[in-house]
């Protein structure tokens, strides 16, 4: 278990560094690329995780060692570092490679150690912190960017040094009964979460301190969700956290209500991933890619200006309640 915790922690720190470089580079290139920058980056970073996940799963069938996952992580680091000062599609591709490789390695270690999804929340949460820090620092801290790139390369070497300790691919059964319904329900929850997260405007979220505070609430919610589900069970966690999120969004225009809403609403993030991974044990890369494609689709209405700057109430409350309906139905089906 100690070994699995070390690997997941290492990947989590790398995740924060990768997303920091991505956010920094996006704002650095904004004047040159204009509005198309975010679409190009998001398509490469999120939509392309679906085919990359399928490729990684196919490779894992041929080679069950650490190599496929590590290759994707290493390619992600190198492409991200190169893409920071070149083009958004290279940057986004690096992000996609890292997320797929790091996600699959985290899934394997979580399963091996019996963490019950706790490791998944730990892996995904730091990304939000990296994005916020990269957005805040922007181009005025170039030395930090160079040091981050070097730090990522060092961490990548540390991960390679642990290759003898990394978990071989575990024997996987198939959980294909009701697979289509589970995929569609989890996918819908992620699309909705992405849309709510990108469209809700909190009037208090202004200034560096409050932006960081909101990000910490979001990231800590993702981490706490996996731990709470492990101790409470998934059904109780879904009902309590999304009910609390719906109530918190009612008071979302205030600082305490908005922070609570961000915390509770994001607690289900590792749950949807864990549900789908358990349903698709032979294809963790595909499971990861399906949900990140959902993130991309949820962002599109905001990008095209169809819906943006929605109020926490009623939009956030309705989103949390609808998520409760979808995810609660999914968990109930799985418990039968």
Q: What is the DSSP string of 96-152?
A: HHHHHHHHHHHHHHHHHHT-TTHHHHHHHTHHHHHHHHHHHHGGGGHHHHHHHHHHH
How far apart, in whole angstroms, are the C-alpha atoms of residue 95 and residue 86?
A: 14
Q: Are 32 and 86 in contact (CB under 8 A)?
A: no
Q: What is the CATH number of the domain that holds 259?
A: 1.20.1250.20
Do 157 and 22 reside in the same domain of the chain? yes
Comparing CA positions, the residue from 57, 59, 73, 98 lying closest to residue 159 is 73
Strand partners of residue 310:
200
Do 113 and 199 reside in the same domain of the chain? no
- Within 10 Å of residue 178's Cβ, how many Cβ atoms? 14
171, 197, 215 - which closes a domain: 171
How far apart, in whole angstroms, are the C-alpha atoms of residue 332 and residue 88?
A: 41
Give the residue ranges of the chain where pLDDT is below 70: 1, 29-35, 138-141, 164-177, 335-336
Q: How far from each other are the two terminal CA atoms of the chain, in whole angstroms? A: 30
Q: How many domains does the chain have?
A: 2
Do 113 and 51 reside in the same domain of the chain? yes
Do 228 and 144 reside in the same domain of the chain? no
Please report the pLDDT score of residue 165 as a whole number.
Answer: 63
Q: Give Cα separations from 236 to 56, 177, 218, 244 (angstroms).
A: 34, 23, 20, 12
Q: Are 128 and 266 in contact (CB under 8 A)?
A: no
Q: What is the CATH number of the domain that holds 51?
A: 1.20.1250
Do 181 and 145 reside in the same domain of the chain? no
The residue range of the domain holding 130 is 1-171
How far apart, in whole angstroms, are the C-alpha atoms of residue 176 and residue 255?
A: 44
113, 143, 171 - which closes a domain: 171
Q: Are 276 and 290 in contact (CB under 8 A)?
A: yes
Do 88 and 161 reside in the same domain of the chain? yes
171, 192, 217 - which closes a domain: 171
Please report the pLDDT score of residue 296 as a whole number.
Answer: 95
Do 147 and 46 reside in the same domain of the chain? yes
Do 186 and 330 reside in the same domain of the chain? yes
Sequence-distant (6+) residues with CB within 8 A of 64 are 168, 169
Please report the pLDDT score of residue 171 as a whole number.
Answer: 47
Do 334 and 276 reside in the same domain of the chain? yes
Please report the pLDDT score of residue 170 as a whole number.
Answer: 52
Do 289 and 332 reside in the same domain of the chain? yes
């Amino acid at each position: 278990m100690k070994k699995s915790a070390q690997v997941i922690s290492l990947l989590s720190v790398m995740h924060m560094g990768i997303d920091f470089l991505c956010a920094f580079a996006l704002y650095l290139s904004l004047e040159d690329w204009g509005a198309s920058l975010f679409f190009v980056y998001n398509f490469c970073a999120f939509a392309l995780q679906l085919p990359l996940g399928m490729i990684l799963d196919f490779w894992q069938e041929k080679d069950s060692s650490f190599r496929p996952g590590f290759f994707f992580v290493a390619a992600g680091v190198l492409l991200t570092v190169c893409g920071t000062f070149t083009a958004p599609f290279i940057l986004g591709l690096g992000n996609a490679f890292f997320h797929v490789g790091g996600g699959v390695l985290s899934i394997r270690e979580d399963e091996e150690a019996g963490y019950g999804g706790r490791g998944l929340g730990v892996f995904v949460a730091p990304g939000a912190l990296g994005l916020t820090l990269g957005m805040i620092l922007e181009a005025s801290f170039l030395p930090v960017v160079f040091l981050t790139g070097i730090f990522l390369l060092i961490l990548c070497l540390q991960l390679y040094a642990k290759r003898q300790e990394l978990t071989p691919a575990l024997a996987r059964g198939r959980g294909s009964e009701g697979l289509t319904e589970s995929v569609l329900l989890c996918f819908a929850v992620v699309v909705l979460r992405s849309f709510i997260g990108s469209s809700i405007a909190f009037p208090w979220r202004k200034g560096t301190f409050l932006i960081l505070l909101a990000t910490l609430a979001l990231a800590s919610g993702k981490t706490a969700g996996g731990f709470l589900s492990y101790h409470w069970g998934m059904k109780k966690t879904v009902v309590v956290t999304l009910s609390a999120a719906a109530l918190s969004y009612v008071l979302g225009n205030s600082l305490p209500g908005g922070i609570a809403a961000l915390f509770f609403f994001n607690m289900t993030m590792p749950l949807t991933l864990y549900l789908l991974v358990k349903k698709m044990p032979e294809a963790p890369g595909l499971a990861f890619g399906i949900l990140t494609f959902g993130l991309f689709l949820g962002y599109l209405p905001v990008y095209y200006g169809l819906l943006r700057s929605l109020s926490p109430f009623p939009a956030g409350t309705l989103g949390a309640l609808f998520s409760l309906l979808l995810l609660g139905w999914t968990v109930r089906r799985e418990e039968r």
